[in-house]
Amino acid sequence: MQVNKGEINQSKKTMQIIIKATQLELTDALNQYAEDRIKSLEKYIGRFETQGEAIARVELARTTQHHRNGDVFNVEVNLHMNGDVIRAARDGEEMYATIDEVKDILKLEIQKYKDLHVEKPISDAQRAGE
C-alpha cells in the first residue's frame, strides 16, 4: 500500500487562514504571499493547539494619513487558538515587507504564549531539589 506524504501532512494542518483586504485590491499574488507566510507558523502552534483548529484572521489595508507621504500599508493578524487571541500588527511602506514583519512578530508572540501555557517536563534534577 502506498501512502502519499502530502495526504499525511494535510491531516496535521491546524490553522485556517482568512484574509481580508481593506482599501486595496487583493490580487492572487498578494493573497498567496500572505497565506504562505502565515501558514509557515503552523509548525509552531501544531504541537500545543488543544481545542481544534486555530484561526488566523489577516487584514491587509491601505491607509492614507495626512502626516505621511504616499500610501501606508497596515497588516494585522489575530490568531485565535485555545480560546485566546494572539495579535500582531505593523504599518509599513511596502505591503510584502510589512507582511514579513508581522509574521516575525507573530512567531515571537507564539513562542511567548507557548512558554507560558505549555507544561514543561520536570527533570530529575528539579525533582531532587524539592
**CATH number of the domain to which 24 belongs:** 3.30.160.100
pLDDT tens-place string over residues 17-32: 999 999 999 999 999 9
pLDDT tens-place string over residues 89-129: 999 999 999 999 999 999 999 999 888 877 666 666 665 65
Cell of 130: 524539592
Examine residue 15 and state whether it is found in any structural domain, yes or no.
no
For residues 41 and 43, give the distance between their C-alpha atoms in angstroms, rounded to a whole number.
5
pLDDT for 2 beyond 60: no
Residue type, 27: T
pLDDT tens-place string over residues 30-53: 999 999 999 999 888 876 666 678
Residues 6+ apart with CB under 8 A from 125: none
Examine residue 42 and state whether it is found in any structural domain, yes or no.
yes
Torsion of CA 101, 105, 111, 115, to 10 degrees: 170
Examine residue 6 and state whether it is found in any structural domain, yes or no.
no
Q: What is the SS3 assignment for 7? A: helix
Examine residue 8 and state whether it is found in any structural domain, yes or no.
no
Residue type, 124: D
pLDDT for 4 beyond 60: no
For residues 108 and 61, give the distance between their C-alpha atoms in angstroms, rounded to a whole number.
23
Report angle CA 54, 56, 59 to the nearest 5 degrees: 170
Separation of CA 108 from chain center: 10
